[in-house]
Every structure is written in structure tokens, then in C-alpha cells.
A and B are shown apart, each in its own frame.
Chain A
Amino acid sequence: MAATQTPEAARPPGHQAARVRRVGTLRAWLTRPELAAVAGCVLVWLFFAAVASDSGFLSQGGTASYLEVAAQVGIVGVPVAMLMIAGEFDLSVGSMVGAAGMIIAISTAEYGWPLWAGIVAAFVVAALVGLFNGYIVVKTGLPSFIVTLGMLFALSGATIGLSRLLTDRTQISMYPGDLEGFLHSLFAGKIGPYPASIAWWLGLAVVATYVLQKTVFGNWVFGAGGDKYAARNVGVPVARVKILTFVATATSAALLATIQVLDAGSADVIRGQLLELQAIAAAVIGGVLLTGGYGSVIGALFGALIFGMVQQGIFFTGVDTDWFKLFVGAMILLAVLFNNLIRKRAAEAH
């Protein structure tokens, strides 16, 4: 750690280094926020590899299936982790998935819009919802937990109401012609046995990690979440950072909706339910601090992976999938306990 100068400045060189404790790379690595999630992933994989190997968990199809579940959680989980690092929550992402899916399906299948226009409309509406969430949170200073909880209900109510009003249904099938071609393979195509969503998930995680670690905006995200007053006092545009991150979470929900609608060939108002909590769980397992200012997107990526492996692993073991949530709950608690330890070491050790 740091050594400070004392009046007897004429000390032999190297004296100060006496107070500088050597910290090995191993130790530095042991204080990374994503450690618990990575270790958890390995453990969960080993567990299911041991108990469910003969039922296909290790096969290519098994791998693809848990990666796909992980991608669904992770596509939203990655920006949600970033928003949580910026010190805010977004509980409306699940409702946003349902809403964006219905926008695409109704505009294309009922009103005959071209697919691209439907997708653009979904993204625009999502961006506006994100702007609204962010603007209200920043302007009123209300906790985002409450603001986006309101949005969760409002958005889902509006989606059901409008869908009934416009189509008399809450589930819409896509126009078959939209389930092929470039846009379809872009969002719902396959690379071998692996659905495109996995590539979107990994791509998003790479971009978000780059933004957080390598750009100025990333530094502002940590600042805004660590202490918004302190950050503002040194000139960080905290409001802009938060609003933009809210836009990112909402548009990631639109991306997931696009993938789901094109993959399933239909939209349903209840799609995305509970996704907001799964995304938060992935971020928390991944070492993101609930109060903001600390964490990593890579952690959230592994958090989502744990989610996928547990859900599909339990399915492969043949155990009643009712146990899934118990397992996830235990994982969350364990991960949070572990993360807490790591964070204490990062903050105090050295």
C-alpha cells in the first residue's frame, strides 16, 4: 500500500517500499468481482456433468440448450448489470419484452408493416420507455426501484389493454413470410446447433465490457453509481449517464423480444415475465453491488450462464423442475455471501 513521507526525508531508497506490500497476481485475481460467478459456473457444470452426463447435459444439444437459456437472461442481464453499476434498477425490462414483442407482431401481422419497420418501432418505443424511466428517476430523485416498478405494471397493463383493443387477442402469430430471410436469420438463425441469441449475448457482453473498462463513459458509470454527488462535483454528467443506461436496458429488452418473436413465430403479452428479477439475479451472482459503483459485466455473463445451466441441468437430471427455483435461490444467497467477502478484501486488503 501507500507509504507516506515523514520529516526524516533522507531515508535510504527502498525504505518506502517496506510499507508497500507485494501483492501477487493470484491475490489480485482473487479480489475480482466476477470470481464467485466464474467459480460457481465451474462447480455447477461439474455437478451436472457428474449427475446428468448420460442424459445429454454434455452433448452438443445439451450445451446449446443451456446456452440458449443463459442468452435469454444474459441479453438483458448485461445492460441491467451496467445500470446497477450506475446505481439504478430497471424492473420494467420484463414488461418491455412483452410490449416490444406485441409491437412487432401486431404491426407486421395485423397491419402489414414490413418486418424491419416493426422491429424499428419496437426499438423506438423501448428507447422512449428507457428515456422516460431515466428522466423521471433523475429529475425526481425517486428510487428507480419504485419508478420502474410502476413502469412494470403500467407497461404490462397497457400492452394487454391495447392488444385486446386492437386485435381482441393477447397472443399473435407472426406472418409466415417474416419467419425466413435475412432478418430472421440475423436474430433467430442458427450457427450449427447454436441459436443466434448466444452470439448476441456474447457480443453484447464484449461491447459492454469495452465500454465499462475502456471508455470515458464507463468511468462515469462507476462514478455515477459510486457516489452521484461526488461524481457531479467533479464534472461527471451523472444525469446523462443514468438516462442513457436506462435506454440501454430498455432497448436490450426490445432486442430479446425481437429474437423471441422471430424464433417462436408468435408474440404473447406475458412474455418476459420475471425476466427483470432473473436479470438482477444474474448481475448479483456476477458480483455487481446492489448499491452501485462496483461490479463487472463479465460477472453478469457468468451469472446468466449459471442460470441457464441450473435450469437445463435440472431438466436433464430428470428431477422435477419444480426444484429449479430452490436451487437458484440457494445459488443467489451463496454467491452474495461470497461476493461480500471478496469485496471486503478488495476494499481493505492490499
Chain B
Amino acid sequence: MAENGGSRNGGPILEARGVSKYFGHVVALEDITMDVRAGEVLCLLGDNGAGKSTLIKTFSGVHKPDKGTMLVDGEETVFNSPHDAIERGIATVFQDLAMIPLSGIARNFFLGREPKKGKGPLQRYDAAFADRVTRSELEKIGIELRDTSQPVSTLSGGERQCVAIARAVYFGAKVLILDEPTSALGVRQASIVLRYIDQTRAAGIGVIFITHNVHHAYLIGDRFTVLERGRNTGTVAHDEITTEQLEKRMAGGKELARLEAEFKRGAKEIRVPAHPS
């Protein structure tokens, strides 16, 4: 496994300073400043359309910011493509996981970064190496494979998520960005993924964890950044906030309060008749 740069208590590995992103007249991001350090889990929270995906696409080189700068290890950096970001150790596990369902697990693990053997025109894909590494990397996280050539589609959602994370870690990610990795999973599968995120953090990697689930966030997060309509409403540390407070902040506390009041007031009108006429 490749080494991970930065120390747990060092400066930020990845930082956004005053980043704005516009799509025509839609303000997707406005003046976002945030960072992630080695060995921490930073949770990125926010309502639908808050700009979370846009922000991580900016971190991963899919979008270029219209304003502001990105810094990697304190150094100003411009990503021209997802490839540039990967090169700098910023790995993103998109929600679609970037996997080919009908291809084998080992081939997926190494897709785009295939091991090679032989020279010149006889250079070829090193299937034995790919199988060996895939098997041992997945064993580390408790996934035992009978056959590394079985299609990815035979894995469960949580296992697939873990394979995608394991791949990013194996290829030397310093920062791991996860876009809603637990949102489609049941409790058991989600706990597998959360446990693995914890392991990843312990290995000194900075994790940006996007989620709608405050409970998942609170379980694993060291700090929480809440976006609202493209703006950063602030970052708080785990011991400065409770789950309830976080929930309110995230859903826009006013919204929930209003809903609560509405339901209390209109309880009678809302009730569904027992026997439709």
C-alpha cells in the first residue's frame, strides 16, 4: 500500500478558499471555505440542492471553480481533470461507484490503473498480480472472495462500496471523498461501511463524508460542515454539538419547527378517514 502524506495533527491536506461555482444564473456554491486534515472524518451535510455534490466535484477535478482557490498540502492547485485530482492523491468514490457491474472484481479494482508485465508489444495485463492484490486487500476488510473474476454485480451494495473505498486506499489516496456511501444501505451494510471509514481514518487518510443521515454522520464524524443553498453555514467539531442540534442545523431548523407546528395544529384535518366512502 502506498504511504499517506501528512500527519494527524498537521495542516489541512485539502482546502477550499472562497470557492464559488455558478451554472448560468444558478449559484451552486458561493464563497465556500473549508478544509480536511489527515486522519479525520469531515462530514459534509446539507439539504437537497445545497451544493454538496457540486463542491466535491470541484474537489475531484470534475468542475473548475469560477472563483476562489483550491489548495493541496497548502499549495495552490488547479485540477484540469479528474485524473489530475487522482494524481494528487484525492480519490472520490462517486455514488455510482465507478464500477463495471458485469466485469470481474479484480478487473474493476485495477480498472484504469492496470498492472502490466512483459515488455514492448508483448506488454500485457498482469492478471495474477491483480487477483493476488485484490484478494488480499479485500481480506483486510473482511470480504473473502472465492473467485476474484466473479462479476461485481454479485456483491452486495455495502461490499461494493467497500471495494470502491479499498481501491482508493490501495492506490494511495491522501484524501478520500465519499458521496453518500451509506444512503442506499441497510443498517448492517451501513455499519460495515462506517467501520471501514473508521479504519481508513486510522490509517491517516483525510475523509470527506457526504451524507443525509445525521446519525451516521454523528457516529463517525470529527467535524461537520453544513451547506445551505450553496453557502457554508459553519463547521463545528463533534464535541461542540449534539445529534439534535446537528439535525436542526442541517434540515434548516426553522423548516422542521414549522412542520412540527403545522402538524400539531392541523392534526384533525390531516387524519385519513378510516373508511373511504
Contact = CB atoms under 8 A, between A and B. Distances in A.
A293 B113 contact: no
B192 A347 contact: no
Q: Which of A4, A21, A218, A350 has the most CB of B within 10 A?
A: A4
B244 interface: no
Interface stretch (B103-111, B201-209, B230-238, B246-254): B103-111
Majority DSSP secondary structure for residues of B touching A: loop
A209 interface: no
Nearest to A226: B100
Given A2-B159, A219-B110, A227 B82 contact: no
Contact of A234 (B112, B146, B147): B112
Contact of A346 (B114, B125, B141, B151): B151
A230 B82 contact: no
A215 to B, nearest CB: 5
Contacts of A5: 141-142, 192
Contact of A3 (B96, B103, B144, B154): B144
Interface string A213-233: 011101110110011011111
Contact of B146 (A20, A214, A232, A293): A20
A2 B145 contact: yes
Most interface-central of B86, B96, B100, B107 (chain A CB within 10 A): B100
B94 interface: yes
B100 A223 contact: yes
A16 B145 CA distance: 10
* Residue among A4, A21, A233 facing the most chain B CB atoms (10 A cut-off): A233
A16 B141 CA distance: 13
A230 B114 contact: no
Given A1-B154, A4-B159, A235-B112, A20 B144 contact: yes
A34 B16 CA distance: 51
A293 B108 CA distance: 12
Contacts of A235: 82-83, 86, 112-113
Contacts of B98: 227, 229-231, 233-234
Given A1-B146, A215-B125, A226 B159 contact: no
A294 interface: yes
B132 to A, nearest CB: 17
B124 interface: yes
Contacts, number: 120
B97 interface: yes
A227 B103 CA distance: 10
B125 A219 contact: yes
B125 A4 contact: no
Interface in A22-44: 22-23, 28
A227 B86 contact: no
B154 A347 contact: yes
Interface of B: 82-83, 86, 92, 94, 96-103, 107, 110-114, 116, 123-125, 127, 138, 141-147, 150-151, 153-156, 158-159, 192
Given A229-B96, A233-B98, A234-B98, 15 more contacts: A2-B155, A5-B141, A215-B123, A216-B114, A216-B123, A216-B124, A220-B111, A227-B98, A227-B100, A230-B98, A231-B98, A234-B86, A235-B86, A293-B101, A347-B151
